[in-house]
Amino acid sequence: MAILVTGCAGFVGAHVTKALIDRGERVVGLDNLDPYYDVRLKQARLERLCAHDRFRFERLDLTDREALAGLLDREADIAGIVHLAAQAGVRHSLVDPYAYVQANVLGQVTLLEAARRLRRLDHLVYASSSSVYGLNEHLPFRESERVDRPGSLYAATKRSAELISHAYGHLFGLPQTGLRFFTVYGPWGRPDMAYYTFAKAILDGTEITLYEGEGLARDFTYVDDVVDGVLRVLDHPPAGGDAPGRTFNLGNDRPEPVALLVSLLEQALGRVARVRRIPRPATDIEATWASVDAVETLTGWRPSTRLQDGIPRFVDWFRSYATAG
């Protein structure tokens, strides 16, 4: 049997793929190497994966229906899918909204239609986002809350994907679980994320931009904890009367001030940040905080990495990657 990972050259996708390989799974990885950010980083992640004989890579756009159907015909023994391919970036959705609808909505439909062709599908786990909580102000965010007030098009597309999965679960019995990731960070991360851009600016001696307000905080979640959560959930497919639209939060259950993130980066890099403050844009909420009680009840998962430990690990990788580049 095999596991299909979409977005395998992405940040979380590459880490999940490596963890699956390490535990003995055969993995088919799919990615279109979209140039939203430097493709060389995606290729470097991919090179590490291609060194393993239990991994096979397919360069393929998820919305290419014929190509995806052909892949699943050739890999008919796929029993699990981890769907991480997406157009990421909240603020970029203001610039290119069509890319988000194409990748996050049409991509979800295309994958689910293709998944119906598989002889045996034990579980499909897909990435959603904490952004679906939108303009909610009650903390911590719980899966039982209504999520019908998105604060960005990105959030709207991720919530749409959840609803589409609910429909396919109800109509066709596809066993699925959506995971709402909260501000994932760590080695091999995305260059558009705040912690990455802050680290580069501090190292280069250029300004970083912080939003005004004392309450700005994020539930920063270390990538190894997220990977552990993904694999645990994958191993616990819905059964019996489980709701077809099952979703769980994967967060650190510990919102930290963005100011602390900057301080930890300064300590790890040995340099002082140059800070410019601007008003917080409408796409960004003041704070995020994940309740993880539901996923802990199902799988026993809880995050274990503090920001004080995770940031130095990221900086160690960042220094070596920046030097190598």
In order of their start, the domains of the chain are 2-182+222-251+290-303 (3.40.50.720)
Q: What is the pLDDT of residue 241?
A: 65
Catalytic one among 100, 154, 185, 222? 154
| Paired residues of 179 in beta bridges | 127, 248
Where does the pLDDT of residue 286 fall: very low under 50, low under 70, confident under 90, or very high at 90 and above?
A: confident
pLDDT of residue 212: 78
| Cα–Cα dist 31/103, whole Å | 12
Query: What confidence score (pLDDT) does residue 95 get?
Result: 87
For residue 179, the model assigns a pLDDT of 98
**pLDDT above 70: residue 324:** no
- Residues 48, 68: contact at Cβ < 8 Å? no
pLDDT digits (tens, 9 = 90+) for 162-194: 999 999 999 999 999 999 999 999 999 999 999
Q: What pLDDT was estimated at residue 83? A: 98
Residue 309's CB: how many other CB atoms inside 10 A? 11
> What is the chain's mean pLDDT, rounded?
94
Q: Which of 25, 18, 24, 63 is nearest to 44 (CA)?
A: 18
Cβ partners under 8 Å of residue 22, min gap 6: none
Residues whose CB falls within 8 Å of the CB of residue 234, separated by 6 or more in sequence, listed in order:
3, 80, 82, 123, 125
- Measured from the Cβ of residue 71, the count of other Cβ atoms closer than 10 Å reads 17
Task: With cut-offs at 50, 70 and 90, classify the pLDDT of residue 325.
Answer: low
pLDDT in tens, 288-309: 999 999 999 999 999 999 999 9
Residue 117 has pLDDT above 90, yes or no: no
154 an active-site residue? Answer: yes
Percent of the chain with pLDDT over 90: 84
Distance separating alpha carbons of residues 112 and 85, to the nearest angstrom? 13
Q: What is the pLDDT of residues 218-260, one digit of tens each?
A: 999 999 999 999 999 999 999 876 777 799 999 999 999 999 9
pLDDT score for 214: 74
Site of tokens 């993995």 = 27
Q: Is 83 helix (H, G, I), strand (E, B) or coil?
A: strand
The pLDDT value given to residue 285: 80
Interval 250-275: pLDDT, tens: 999 999 999 999 999 999 999 999 99
Distance separating alpha carbons of residues 210 and 154, to the nearest angstrom: 21
pLDDT tens, position by position, 146-159: 999 999 999 999 99
| Cα–Cα distance for residue pair 41/55, rounded to 1 Å | 19
177: left (phi over 0), alpha (psi -120 to 50) or beta: beta
Helices 11-22 and 39-50 meet at what angle, rounded to 10? 0
pLDDT score for 67 = 96
Q: Is the model more confident about 95 or about 45?
A: 45
Q: What average pLDDT does this structure show over 90-104? A: 90
d(CA 56, CA 53): 8
Q: Is residue 126 predicted with pLDDT exceeding 90?
A: yes
Q: What is the pLDDT of residue 91?
A: 81
- What's the mean pLDDT in 60-67? 96
Question: Residue 123 above 60 pLDDT?
Answer: yes
* DSSP-derived secondary structure letter, 311: H
3-state secondary structure of 80: strand
Other CB atoms within 10 A of residue 91 CB: 12
